[in-house]
Each structure stands twice: as structure tokens, then as C-alpha cells.
Amino acid sequence: MNLVLKIWRQSGPSDSGRMVKYHVKDVSPDMSFLEMLDVLNERLILEGDDPVAFDHDCREGICGMCGMVINGVAHGEQVATTTCQLHMRHFEDGATITIEPWRAAPFPVVKDLVVDRSAFDRIIQAGGFVSVPAGSAPDAHSIPVRKEDADSAFDAATCIGCGACVAACPNGSASLFTAAKITHLSLLPQGQPERLSRAKAMVEQMDAEGFGGCTNTGECTAVCPKGIPLDTIAQMNSDYLKAAK
């Protein structure tokens, strides 16, 4: 496969950045999107150019590091996958592919496609934890949890914090991320004592970081590699309202 890539190049946080066009030849359809970028980078290094910086770690869809907007869609158009799990066979030979970093004020570009997602860490630091030492896993039935709650909590807990929800949201809102983190604790017994103070602190931190508000467009859940449902946002809103009373 031969491809034309239009990639956002930005040498550092203070650089204004621009789109640069690259031709990549002999790409195997079995390559992942990141492997295709590796091929480009090897050539750039040989030619003495600066390789395209992009975040990646596990390359098996669970770490949440690789994130880029491919042809205007976070993680590309394939549903429920991270960029590393997107394969080149989903693109046509000769296609032009636009690759951009996540765009949001709280996610400043570090270099090229790498953005600083520390804002997510600060939202977690504001309350996304259980203060008491919960110890090792309790015996299966020592604390009964409804099957539905356990399932919903687990669904929410699958959030890998990749930031695609923010990138896709027309408002640059971090609601789906924050809601997933709030929901997975607020549905389980260990999360109850701090349930309301947690929701309040995390929602306020989300605003303080400069993310936008939620307008329930559903763009976030559509691109989420883990398919976190919009219901989690209702859970967050409910807990926040109770805390505000």
C-alpha cells in the first residue's frame, strides 16, 4: 500500500505547528497504524529528519497511551479500538490520511502528536480513589454486590484514560472520563463513604482544568475504545447534585 500522510508537526509546546505531507510506500495491510508510523519514522531517521513523536506503550489496546485523531475521528473510524489496534487493511491504497493530536486547551501539545494529559491525573487526584486501605480481594461473597451494579462498575472501570472522549467532544468536555471514574467507585461498597465528596471534588477539578461542559451529544461514547456508556454521566450528575444539596 502507498499512502499520503498529512501529519501535525510541532517541535515543542511553544512552536505554532503546521501540517506536513509525507508519502509512505510499501505499507503492509497487516501493519497496525502505529507500525505504519514506525516505518515512516525509520525512514525519517535515516534521512536525518526528526521522527514524528507519538505516544504509545502496550500496543494491545489497554494502556491508553496511543491517541491521535485520524481523518477527524479519535482513534480512527473503527469502533471500540485504540489507534494501536487499528490496522492498515481498513484504509484504501493511495488514500490520504490526516493525523492530528487531541485538541483541547487542558491537553497542551508536548511535541507533534504527543499531548500532556496530566489534567486527567489531577482529576483523579481530586478524589478518584478510596482512602481506606481496602486490603486484598475479599472472599467472593463476604460483601454482597448486586450483579447489575458489579457489571456497571466494571464497565465504567474499563476506562483507560486515553482522552479520546475529550478529543471527540465538540465542547472539549472530560465528562465521560470523569463520570467513568466516579461511577466505578460509586457503585461499589468500598466507594460509598466518600461518594458525594468525590463527585464534587472531581467535577470541580474538571472545570478548573478548563474542560468544556457536557451537552449530551454522545460523540464521546461513540469513539471510546472501551465503549463507556453515557449512563455514567447521568450517575456523575446525580452524585454531584446530591453533593451540592
Partner 1 sequence: MTATIERGAATEPVASAAPPPRKVRFLTSSNGKKVVMAVTGAVMVLFLVGHMVGNLKIFIGKDSFNEYAHALRTLLEPIAPYRTLLTLVEIVLVVSVGLHIWAAVSLSRQARRARPVKYVARKKSQASGYTTHIMRWGGVTIALFVVWHLLDLTFGVVNPKGTNSLPADRMIAGFDPSRWWVTIIYVVAVVMVGLHLRHGIWSMFQTVGRGTARLRPVAALVSAVLVIGFLAPPLAITFGVVK
For binding to partner 1 (CB under 8 A), which residues are involved? Answer: 6, 8, 19, 69, 71-73, 77, 98, 100, 103-106, 118-119, 121-122, 125, 168, 170-173, 203-219, 221-223, 229-231, 233-241, 244
Specify the residue, 192 or 215, whose C-beta has the smaller distance to partner 1.
215
C-beta of 4: minimal distance to partner 1 in Å?
Answer: 13
CA 20 distance to own-chain centroid: 24
Give the H/E segment covering residue 195. helix 195-208
C-beta of 191: minimal distance to partner 1 in Å?
Answer: 16
d(CA 179, CA 236): 5
C-beta of 102: minimal distance to partner 1 in Å?
Answer: 10
| SS3 of residue 84 by DSSP | helix
C-beta of 239: minimal distance to partner 1 in Å?
Answer: 7
Specify the residue, 67 or 229, whose C-beta has the smaller distance to partner 1.
229
β-pair partners for 228: none
Specify the residue, 38 or 231, whose C-beta has the smaller distance to partner 1.
231
C-beta of 62: minimal distance to partner 1 in Å?
Answer: 22
Specify the residue, 51 or 218, whose C-beta has the smaller distance to partner 1.
218
Specify the residue, 39 or 73, whose C-beta has the smaller distance to partner 1.
73
Specify the residue, 125 or 197, whose C-beta has the smaller distance to partner 1.
125
Q: What does the angle CA 16 – CA 56 – CA 171 come to, to the nearest 5 degrees?
A: 55
C-beta of 71: minimal distance to partner 1 in Å?
Answer: 5
Instruction: Report how far apart, in Å, the C-alpha atoms of 23 and of each of 3, 12, 72, 94, 158 are.
Output: 6, 24, 19, 10, 37
| Residues contacting 127, CB < 8 A, separation 6+ | 194, 197, 198, 199, 200, 201, 202, 205
Strands 3-9 and 96-100 turn out to be: parallel
